[in-house]
């Protein structure tokens, strides 16, 4: 049996949506007899001290993982090998487009919104040499398909765009859609559980995995946690991290007691229709088919925790 994983970016504290997805990734992996691995996606946007806080918070809600924590910045050789394989197969080309160039480029009437229009795909060597003197080049995949269908445990069959997406950015950093495929292959990941905002990227990743000869993992894209405005939960929404909740919070002019990590865990489990308590208890009754398919709305701490103690979860 392979492994599942949770792969946060150390750009700040994990919010409730991140923790909920991490719990789901753990439940999916453990319920299928897989290892559960933790990977820190630190190629960019790393904030000093954030990784340590994230690991602490994951442990505080009851998560455990197998083996050591791996980091993308320790995997340079693996990215280089995959890049050279794609180059040797003639599947890379230089792209000099800015975001404005891409937004303003003409597109065929049937072109998918947001897809790269192929501006730099067939530049002559002379044109590439001229453009190199103006700005560094990114590397794009010369995709052989326009779309691909992937199977998802929650979303069913999903068909999405596969364009000539970026493999290496023009600053030399491996792009997300490339790095995540290489990472999962090198770690033996055969189950990917993550937020459904990443579902649209999955056909690109599946196509790249096939080109690299990598194992295609099984996917499960889970609903997000949203604020009352229907936007993705974020730090700006107030008390949405363990750090915030552990120091107490104010709502409607009233001060509430601190919320313990166990109470946070219990509310997240209740939002999934699972029993409160240690994650092992939820694991005993975990059924992916019974999971909610709609986003969970988190409006304010006072809605989910008792105002007198701050530790008693209300029905979520």
Q: Is 39 annotated as ligand-binding?
A: no
- SS3 (DSSP) at 158: strand
- Is 270 annotated as a binding-site member? no
- Is 105 labelled a binding residue? no
Q: Any residues with CB less than 8 A from the CB of 26 and at least 6 apart, and which?
A: 4, 6, 36, 63, 64, 279
Q: Residue 80 has which token pair?
A: 């280089």
| 8 annotated as belonging to a binding site for a ligand | yes
User: Is 97 annotated among the ligand-binding residues?
Assistant: yes
Please tell me whether 176 is known to bind a ligand: yes
Alpha-carbon distance of 238 to 243, in angstroms, equals 11
| Residue 11 assigned ligand-binding role | no
Taking the C-alpha atoms of residue 169 and residue 237, their distance in angstroms, rounded to an integer, is 31
7 is in an annotated binding site: yes
| CA distance linking residue 33 with residue 102, whole number of Å | 45
Is 60 annotated as belonging to a binding site? no
The Cα 52–Cα 290 span in angstroms is 33
Helix pair angle (176-186, 202-212), 10° resolution: 50
The answer to whether the annotation marks 41 as part of a ligand binding site is yes
5 annotated ligand binder = yes
Which amino acids are annotated as binding site for Zn(2+), given as ranges? 95, 97, 116, 120
Which amino acids are annotated as binding site for ATP, given as ranges? 235
Which amino acids are annotated as binding site, given as ranges? 5-9, 41, 95, 97, 116, 120, 176, 194, 235
Which amino acids are annotated as binding site for L-glutamate, given as ranges? 5-9, 41, 176, 194
């Amino acid at each position: 049996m392979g492994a599942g994983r949770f792969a946060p970016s150390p750009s700040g504290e994990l919010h409730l949506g991140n923790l909920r997805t991490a719990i789901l990734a753990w439940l999916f992996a453990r319920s299928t007899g897989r290892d559960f691995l933790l990977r820190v996606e630190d190629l960019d946007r790393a904030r000093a001290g954030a990784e340590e806080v994230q690991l602490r918070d994951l442990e505080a809600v009851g998560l455990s993982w197998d083996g050591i924590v791996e980091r993308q910045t320790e995997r340079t050789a693996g990215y280089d090998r995959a890049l050279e394989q794609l180059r040797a197969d003639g599947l890379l080309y230089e792209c000099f487009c800015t975001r404005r160039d891409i937004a303003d480029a003409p597109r065929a009437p049937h072109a998918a919104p947001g897809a790269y229009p192929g501006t730099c795909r067939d530049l002559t060597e002379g044109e590439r040499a001229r453009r190199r003197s103006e700005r560094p080049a990114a590397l794009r995949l010369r995709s052989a398909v326009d779309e691909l269908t992937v199977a998802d445990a929650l979303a069913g069959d999903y068909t999405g765009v596969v364009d000539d997406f970026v493999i290496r950015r023009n600053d030399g950093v491996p792009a997300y859609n490339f790095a995540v495929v290489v990472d999962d292959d090198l770690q033996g990941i055969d189950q990917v559980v993550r937020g459904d905002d990443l579902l649209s990227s999955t056909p690109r990743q599946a196509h790249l995995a096939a080109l690299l000869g990598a194992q295609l993992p099984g996917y499960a894209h889970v609903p997000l946690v949203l604020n009352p405005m229907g936007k993705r939960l974020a730090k700006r929404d107030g008390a949405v991290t363990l750090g915030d909740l552990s120091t107490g919070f104010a709502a409607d002019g009233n001060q509430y007691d601190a919320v313990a990590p166990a109470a946070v865990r219990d509310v997240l489990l209740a939002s999934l229709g699972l029993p409160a308590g240690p994650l092992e208890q939820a694991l005993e009754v975990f059924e992916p088919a019974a999971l909610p398919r709609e986003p969970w709305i988190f409006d304010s701490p006072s809605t989910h925790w008792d105002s007198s103690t701050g530790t008693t979860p209300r029905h979520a």
